[in-house]
């Protein structure tokens, strides 16, 4: 499959890039996409949430009143979970949310996400560009020329470009990464994927 290449002014250059059908033209597998996104989000979690249970809160262990004869419910110490300031029952404890996924499954998920994006016409190819000095306004003009200024977009570069990154990092709706770092979650978490010409060559080999 071929896609037209645009310049940063939003004009069609007349050139086309060829997309690898094994990467951009497969039938998306929703289950492996789910597995990849679940693993990615799980790996982002710190897992440090902790609540104090009955034995950990500060307070006396003296029995508040005798067991029988008061006319009220039996009660233990002031650390009881039913009392204000008491411990929490089955509260969160530090744990590891990381999980593993086979490399072939992750590759299939990424290719499924790329294929789904292409099928929905949510992939745009631009010629390679550079920004001489970090300027957010200049990057906003590029997005406006491509008619993507109102969309959440992922810009995929072939290699790291400091000036482009610095120009876009203050824009909440823009994410930038290199082609070798592209993952399923990043692809799905943006409305449009903007690929530079050279990044297409890298992704075709994934």
Q: pLDDT at residue 206 above 90?
A: no
Q: What is the pLDDT of residue 170?
A: 94
Do 69 and 122 reside in the same domain of the chain? no
Q: pLDDT at residue 1 above 90?
A: no
Do 155 and 59 reside in the same domain of the chain? no
Q: What is the pLDDT of residue 26?
A: 96
**Is residue 96 assigned to a domain?**
no
State the average pLDDT over residues 116-137: 95
Q: What is the pLDDT of residue 137?
A: 95
Q: For residue 18, what are the domain limits?
A: 2-46+101-204
Q: What is the pLDDT of residue 164?
A: 95
How many C-beta atoms surround the C-beta of residue 190 within 10 A?
A: 19
Q: What is the pLDDT of residue 23?
A: 96
State the average pLDDT over residues 29-47: 97
Number of structural domains the chain divides into: 2
Give the integer Cα–Cα distance in Å for 37 and 186. Answer: 9
Do 56 and 40 reside in the same domain of the chain? no
DSSP β-bridge partners for residue 124: 194
Token pair recorded at residue 34: 């789910």
State the average pLDDT over residues 175-191: 96
State the average pLDDT over residues 75-82: 95
Do 8 and 77 reside in the same domain of the chain? no
């Amino acid at each position: 499959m071929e896609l037209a290449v645009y310049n940063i002014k939003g004009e069609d250059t007349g050139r086309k890039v060829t997309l690898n059908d094994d990467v951009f033209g497969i039938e998306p597998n929703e289950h492996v996409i789910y597995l990849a996104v679940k693993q990615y989000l799980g790996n982002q979690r710190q897992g440090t949430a902790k609540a104090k249970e009955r034995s950990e809160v500060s307070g006396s262990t003296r029995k508040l009143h005798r067991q029988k004869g008061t006319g009220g419910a039996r009660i233990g110490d002031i650390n009881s979970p039913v009392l204000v300031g008491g411990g929490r029952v089955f509260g969160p404890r530090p744990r590891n949310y990381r999980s593993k996924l086979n490399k072939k499954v992750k590759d299939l998920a990424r290719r499924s996400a790329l294929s789904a994006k292409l099928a929905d016409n949510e992939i745009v190819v631009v010629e390679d560009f550079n920004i001489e000095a970090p300027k957010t306004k200049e990057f906003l003009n590029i997005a406006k020329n491509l008619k993507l200024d109102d969309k959440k977009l992922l810009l995929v570069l072939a290699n790291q470009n400091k000036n482009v990154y610095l120009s876009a990092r203050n824009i909440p709706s823009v994410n930038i990464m290199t082609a070798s770092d592209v993952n399923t979650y990043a692809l799905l978490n943006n409305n449009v994927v903007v690929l530079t010409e050279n990044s297409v060559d890298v992704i075709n080999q994934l």
